[in-house]
Every structure is written in C-alpha cells, then in structure tokens.
Amino acid sequence: MVTGPTALSHRAARLAWEQSGLPVVAQQVDADVIHVPYYSMPLRPGRPTVVTVHDITFFTEPELYSSVGAMFFKSAIRTSARRATRLIVPSKATRDELVRVLDADPTRIDVAYHGVDHAPFHRPSPEQVRQISDRLGLHGQRYVAYLGALEPRKNVPDLITGWAAAVADLPDPPALVLGGGSGWSEEVDQAVAALGYGSHGTHYRCFSSSSSSARNAASSSTQMSWCASAQSMPT
C-alpha cells in the first residue's frame, strides 16, 4: 500500500495529485491497474484504469447540487465513461442510467454490490443496545434509525412525514432517529415544523445533537437527531 500526501484531504489538492502524482506512483510500483473509487480519473493514467461511479444524479437531478459541483462531476463522469478501461457501479439501476444518459458501453460496466464489513456491522449485544438507547436519551424506547447525509437528495423530509403518518395511531410509537454528518437542512426543519399535532392530540417533538436536549446523543463528528411523540418522550 502506498500512502498519499496528507494534503489530499482537500479536494483541489486531491484532484491535482490524481492527475499528476497518481500515474507516477502507479509507474513506480509497477501497478497492473489503477482503481479510482470516486467518479474521476487521470487523463493520462499510463495503466488500465477502473473507476467507480456511484450514481449519476449530477445529470438527472442537478438541482440537488451546487452549480460548480454538478458541472465538475458531470465532466468527470463523462470522461470516465469514455476513457476508463472498466466502470464499477453499485447497482443495475446505475448501470442502466449510465447507458441511458451517457450512452455508455454496457459491456464495460460491472455491477458490484456494496459489501458489509462484519467486524463493525453485526447484531449488537443486549448491553450495546442499552448503551446506545441511553446515549440517545430514549432509555429503552423502540426507534427507527436513519444513517446518512441530511441532504435533499436523501429524501429525509418524506421519511419524517411518512414516519409521522405511520405512527399516528400507535399507542406506543417508536421514535425516529436521524444520524448524519452534513448538518440539519432547511428541508428537514420544515418537515419537522409541519408535523404539528397528530391524531388524538399527539404532539411531535424533534431534537438534534446540537441542542442541550441531545448534548450527549452522539460524537461531535456525527449529528444525531430524533423525533418522537410527546406521550412517549423521555423526560
């Protein structure tokens, strides 16, 4: 394994190194293939190159991104679709979209479903369940969990609305826990505000880890939030 410069945490530096440094490293170690796991690739890789394209929403839903970001990734995906030796996609849907939108060659696209590392992802013990429940302030209350970016393209507002409708008539409804690292978006705020009162006078309340009510709910690197009916909220 060859470790890249620490400055690669910045996108501009990573892209510059990808174009100039990565092909040099591949030559130095006599690599058989270069795999770039995130859309773009060196224009002159000097080796067979495989690129992973996770989705093409930059084309199909550009309004969900900044204009600069959408423009860059459109260009990167077009280049990869045209020049990469192989493309890896996580689903048949993404493969079909690449073919439909960019007229990509389906014979050069491989579907590789997302894997699961069973070391961190495994059925928790009862003690682990209790610790997490207490950490969230739910103290044994059942909950439905979402973990992902709190961005418009993740459809979190509809998740909140759907959860509220699903639990409206339940005597002991589960809470909804939201975990994400991109901040609490305006759309999520609006969905929470729109909950108001459910049937039988149930009032829905939501908390985030940035508030005093959830100060200990999560680490500083991950925002955790949850919604629950007032009748089942911990005090």
CATH code, domain with 77: 3.40.50.2000
* Domain's final residue, options 55, 82, 111: 111
Reading the chain (235 residues) residue by residue, the pLDDT tens digits are 666 676 676 777 888 888 999 999 999 999 999 999 999 999 999 999 999 999 999 999 898 888 888 999 999 999 999 999 999 999 999 999 999 999 999 999 999 999 888 888 888 899 988 998 888 778 888 888 888 877 777 888 888 888 888 888 888 888 888 777 655 567 777 777 777 644 434 444 454 444 333 333 333 334 445 555 544 444 4
pTM over the 0.75 mark: no
Same domain flag for 88 and 58: yes
* Domain's final residue, options 111, 135, 170: 111
* Domain's final residue, options 71, 88, 111: 111
How far apart (Å, rounded) are the C-alpha atoms in residues 36 and 22?
Answer: 10
Structural domain including 199 reads: 126-232
How far apart (Å, rounded) are the C-alpha atoms in residues 200 and 60?
Answer: 41
* Number of Cβ atoms within 10 Å of the Cβ of 22: 22
- 120: in domain: no
Same domain flag for 72 and 131: no
Same domain flag for 209 and 143: yes
Same domain flag for 106 and 130: no
